[in-house]
Amino acid sequence: MTRPVILGNGNMLVCLDKHARIRDLYYPHIGQENHVSSRTHRIGVWVGGEFSWISEEEWELSLKYKKDTLSSDITAYSKKLKVRISMNEAVHHDKNIYLRKICIENRGQIQRDIKVFFGQEFQISETNIGDTAYFDPLLQSIVHYKGRRYFLIGGQMDGKPFKDYATGVSGTEDHVGTYVDAEDGFLSKNAIEHGSVDSVIGFTMNLKKDESKRIDYWIIAGKNHGEVAELKKFVLKKTSEKLIEETEDFWKEWLGKSPIKFYNLNEKMKDLFKRSLLIIHAQTDKNGAIIASNDTHTFKFKKDTYSYMWPRDGALVARSFDKAGYFEITKKFFDFCSEVLEKEGYLLPKYRPDGSVGSSWHSWLSYGKVQLPIQEDETALVLDSLWKHYTRYKSGKMKEAYEVFIKDAGDFLANFRDEKMKLPKESYDLWEEKLGVHTFTCATVYAGLEAAKNFARIFGNELDEEKYSKAMEEIKNGILEYLYDPEEGLFIKRIYYDENGEMVKDKTVDMSTVYGLFEYKVLDPTDEKIIKTMEKTVKKLWCITPCGGISRYENDNYYRVSRDAPPNPWFISTFWLAEYYIAKAKKTEDLKPAEDLLNWATQRALPSGILSEQLNPYTGEHLSVSPLTWSHAGFIIAVIKYVDKYEKLTRQSG
């Protein structure tokens, strides 16, 4: 299930599912800890003895954002109840407060009593053991807490707090949850419960035909009772409505800092570009960790998620932010990477936002021999991204960075190589599936060494500069000798060693193979070898269905909809094809195929502007996690490359 709306501020992130239910709530880091963890916060309506949760099929829902903000614009209508709901939500840009303004409209023909219920089902610190939920009569609020995590739930209608409430046991033995207490229109007012718990609050209104009333609702996060109590005073003093408005103004002003000119690109592309910036910001922790995705429906796969910082994804996202003009965010990312770099000079596959190492499936053994459990492209791409950051902004303490990160990482890339081929030793690929010497990884190591060489030159380290330059040359020669197949007329995905130590060529067509070679300047995109490899890649990987798009590689089975279906198209691999057309363009007309692919993305985004990881090849349904930060970064990079090239070609022709 996708998360069509996410709302965050760098410390707190709230994710809504397609039924407008809160399914993820992260605090105090983006991606860590999830205090809902795919359980459900509900909204229900009772009218004239009939009850319905807005997640039920009878409700017609529209989930969008207000333009240029991290503020929701949601509507829900029930023909059966004849009730219309409009909802505007935000996580305050500075305080850890989720705010909801909800308007209830009576679409019936007569005056009626309408009751609205809000159910909260926390799993504090990602377990349902030892939680407490209670009604606080002094704060006129429900409080859920465990240890140093407190959540205060409150609300008002006509300036008065809720009167109905209940707490109870949820999800254990025969206890479905206290939320069912709302379904008869009345709550028990049970004031406290502990263990695995949930809570419900309710409001009652009497509305004439076409009359509406507003309810203000909030969830406040803090580390103790005093903190959430103070934040409640803050909400009451400033009012929920004004706090949402100032948060919307904050995001509009933040977007206004980007200097990008869109030239001939249409409004949908501009909107998706801005939405992508906001989505990436929402999924970036204030400590610098850029999180891949916070959609926990992937729990069904081994009970793990995408709520980690992969250095590769982070490096590419940092590039997109740098290109868009937000270097203050990317600097924190590079600081984060410097702090977690292993003493040998490499980065591990993924990290939690607090800097601890993430889960992994990469073995330390390969056929009984020690194997570093790394994806070497991650270390290389952070170096490459850091150099591009420096050339654009000339900012940061780069001399210090050279001593604590750049030199160690550069030395690792230069030394971690096969003695015979001079190529990088075996590591895991960017898709985290195969062990071997991958063309994409080799290309990124080439780029990482170029970055290290450039930094060495700046700081007068001639020996380092010479070492990195020599390694670059040897890697390029090795790519041409060992990873190009003259019989097939294309570059291959990888070489690897079998259990007998024999070298095997993997000729699987993979979009990352050709992309890495031209993107990281191993070869020019107009080189005949690149052109032929790309032609064969597109022929093999273009999805010949109504959906279209480029899949990652041949016979990709990840989230494949059926054995007979083609592999799913991915947003990121399709954007790579757009970048290729942009790189090759000699006149503005040559940019048309890239523009078509950018349009393809805007047409397949959710109505809220969210991009997933991949798509159903037949229906275009979003598959795997959504939103995926990498997909949004890929769109930003492709758009900026497009407008830069458009400007250059226009200037040349003018």
pLDDT tier for residue 289 given thresholds of 50, 70 and 90: very high
Q: Given this model, what pLDDT does residue 164 score? A: 97
- Judge if 280 and 318 occupy the same domain: no
* Predicted confidence (pLDDT) at residue 34 exceeds the cutoff of 80: yes
- Judge if 512 and 584 occupy the same domain: no
* Predicted confidence (pLDDT) at residue 4 exceeds the cutoff of 70: yes
Chain-centroid distance of CA 564 in Å reads: 30
Structural domain includes residue 18: yes
Q: How many domains does the chain have?
A: 3
- Judge if 460 and 589 occupy the same domain: no
Give, for 311, the enclosing helix (H) or strand (E): helix 311-324
Question: How is 167-232 classified by DSSP, letter by letter?
Answer: EEE-SBTTB--GGGGGGGT------EEEESEEEEEEEEEEE-TT-EEEEEEEEEEESSHHHHHHHH
In 3D space, the residue among 295, 235, 232 whose CA is nearest the CA of residue 36 turns out to be 295
Q: Given this model, what pLDDT does residue 439 score? A: 98
- Judge if 237 and 275 occupy the same domain: no
* Residue 276, CA distances (Å) to 270, 562, 628 in order: 10, 30, 10
Average pLDDT, the chain: 95
DSSP conformation class of 405: I
- Judge if 278 and 336 occupy the same domain: no
Structural domain includes residue 302: no
Q: Given this model, what pLDDT does residue 1 score? A: 63
Picking from 510, 531, 552, the residue at the C-terminal end of a domain is 531
3-state secondary structure of 328: helix
Picking from 464, 497, 531, the residue at the C-terminal end of a domain is 531
Structural domain includes residue 301: no
pLDDT tier for residue 417 given thresholds of 50, 70 and 90: very high
Q: Which CATH number is 206's domain given?
A: 2.70.98.10
| Residue in the block written with tokens 């507003």 | 214
pLDDT tier for residue 222 given thresholds of 50, 70 and 90: very high
Q: Which CATH number is 480's domain given?
A: 1.50.10.10
Structural domain includes residue 291: no
* Residue 60, CA distances (Å) to 190, 609, 626, 646 in order: 33, 19, 21, 42
Question: Around Cβ 1, how many Cβ atoms within 10 Å?
Answer: 15
Q: Given this model, what pLDDT does residue 304 score? A: 85
Q: How many CA atoms lie within 13 A of 238 on its CB side?
A: 17
Q: What is the 3-state secondary structure (H, E, C) of 509-572?
A: CEHHHHHHHHHCCCCCCCCHHHHHHHHHHHHHHECCCCCCCEECECCCCCCCCCCCCCCCEEHH
Q: Given this model, what pLDDT does residue 301 score? A: 53
Structural domain includes residue 297: no
Mean pLDDT of 58-79: 98
Mean pLDDT of 147-176: 93
3-state secondary structure of 288: coil
* Predicted confidence (pLDDT) at residue 393 exceeds the cutoff of 90: no
- Judge if 355 and 450 occupy the same domain: yes
In 3D space, the residue among 414, 413, 425 whose CA is nearest the CA of residue 497 turns out to be 425
Give, for 90, the enclosing helix (H) or strand (E): strand 83-91
- Judge if 77 and 214 occupy the same domain: yes
- Judge if 459 and 494 occupy the same domain: yes
pLDDT tier for residue 36 given thresholds of 50, 70 and 90: very high
- Judge if 441 and 559 occupy the same domain: no
Q: Given this model, what pLDDT does residue 38 score? A: 78
* Predicted confidence (pLDDT) at residue 175 exceeds the cutoff of 80: no
- Judge if 30 and 130 occupy the same domain: yes
- Judge if 203 and 107 occupy the same domain: yes
What digits encode the pLDDT tens for the residues 420-453? 999 999 999 999 999 999 999 999 999 999 999 9
pLDDT tier for residue 540 given thresholds of 50, 70 and 90: very high
What digits encode the pLDDT tens for the residues 604-620? 999 999 999 999 999 99
Picking from 485, 504, 531, the residue at the C-terminal end of a domain is 531
Structural domain includes residue 185: yes
Domain encompassing residue 527: 311-531
Q: Given this model, what pLDDT does residue 221 score? A: 98
* Predicted confidence (pLDDT) at residue 171 exceeds the cutoff of 90: no
- Judge if 628 and 551 occupy the same domain: yes
* Predicted confidence (pLDDT) at residue 317 exceeds the cutoff of 80: yes
Residue 226: exposed, middle, or buried by beta-carbon count in 10 A (0-12, 13-18, 19+)?
Answer: exposed
* Predicted confidence (pLDDT) at residue 302 exceeds the cutoff of 70: no
Structural domain includes residue 338: yes
Structural domain includes residue 232: yes
pLDDT tier for residue 174 given thresholds of 50, 70 and 90: confident
pLDDT tier for residue 176 given thresholds of 50, 70 and 90: confident
* Predicted confidence (pLDDT) at residue 300 exceeds the cutoff of 60: no
* Predicted confidence (pLDDT) at residue 79 exceeds the cutoff of 90: yes
What digits encode the pLDDT tens for the residues 232-283? 999 999 999 999 999 999 999 999 988 899 999 999 999 999 999 999 999 9
- Return all residues near 188 (Cβ < 8 A) that are at least 6 apart: 166, 168, 178, 181
pTM of the full structure: 0.96
